[in-house]
Amino acid sequence: MAASLKLVLTDAAGSALDDHVIVDLFAMQSSQHFQAAGDVGTEMTIDGIDVSTGPFYRVMVTPANHRMIQFFASLSDGAVVQSSATVPVDPSKVVSISAPTFSQLSAEAQTMLNQAQSPRFNNGIGGYLRGADLYLALDAYPLLKACFLNIVAKSALTHLQSGDSCLQHYQGIFRFEQDRIFVGTTAGLVEEAAHSNSLHSVSAALHDPMPGYHIVSSYKTFDRYGNLQLTFQRQGETGADYVADVDIDDAQGIEHIFQVLRNSVQGPTNPYDIHDILLQQKPPVDPKYDFKFASLLEPIVS
């Protein structure tokens, strides 16, 4: 007799993983090692696992386009044991995203783009790319587009005492980065954030203001992982117009929410990680885009 392990693997959205995976099983009481590989939609069953020396195995799943995860399983002779796991994306394997069209964006998100004043995206004749043209230009920078969509989704679900969402107070975008945006706002949002039950005051020590601006306050949501942070800055001491440095912190959520073996990605917070973290929040925050991998792209015909 031998044991079987049935793996049920899904992505962060709960959909079929649809990836090629290598599964290694390491016996905890001996040196036995079993390996299986194949293309997996959602389920994969590994048969013929020897449990004569003990039932406990360390299971390591290595997908092609998602992060490596590991967990422990207790197997039983003659039985099929099922283990389910959510597998986050490997940001280094994402080549692009499939995002909503401009017309499918919320009115608030469209306003942010329609009123944008980002020097990085100029129209070549002394002005700024705005609206649908700016949104289309972001296709060449999928990390920036993903960050924008993450912030739009999280801000729409972060409410103030007035009943408004943070998103309803955003104006034009001044700067895009892969881990934050700088967006115009007013003193109204600053006051609302200071009195909101959804936010609490935090240090802004790790945030740099835009040239000519100075930081006045910073607030963050109470989420354990995937916190929305608003760091406010303004020109002068009495100006009514503010800029909010808006970012979402992963707080090492990839390692803690998922069973990731290790996180080797360095540098600024990756918006693809944030995408998967937001989907695990309650209620889930859906940024409304999907990932594209090299294997799913159409071949180039010369």
Average pLDDT over residues 123-128: 91
Per the CB < 8 A criterion, the answer to whether 19 and 12 are in contact is no
Give the domains, in start order, of the chain with CATH numbers. 3-87 (2.60.40.1120), 92-293 (no CATH)
Question: Mind listing the pLDDT tens digit for each residue in 223-257?
Answer: 999 999 999 999 876 667 899 999 998 867 788 88
DSSP string, 225-255: SSEEEEEEEESTTT-SEEEEEEEEE-TTHHH
Q: Say what the pLDDT of residue 270 is.
A: 94
> Which residues make Cβ contacts (< 8 Å) with residue 240, sequence separation at least 6?
186, 187
pLDDT at 144 over 50: yes
For the chain, give percent helix, strand, coil, nearest 5. 25, 35, 40
CA distance linking residue 110 with residue 49, whole number of Å: 55
State the pLDDT confidence band at 295, using cuts at 50, 70 and 90. Answer: low
Average pLDDT over residues 138-142: 98
Query: Which residue in the block uniquely carries the two structure tokens 């929305």?
Result: 228
CA distance linking residue 147 with residue 143, whole number of Å: 6
Q: What is the DSSP letter of 165?
A: B
Q: Say what the pLDDT of residue 238 is.
A: 63
Question: Mind listing the pLDDT tens digit for each residue in 66-103?
Answer: 999 999 999 999 999 999 999 999 999 999 999 999 99
Question: Mind listing the pLDDT tens digit for each residue in 3-37?
Answer: 999 999 999 999 999 999 999 999 999 999 999 99
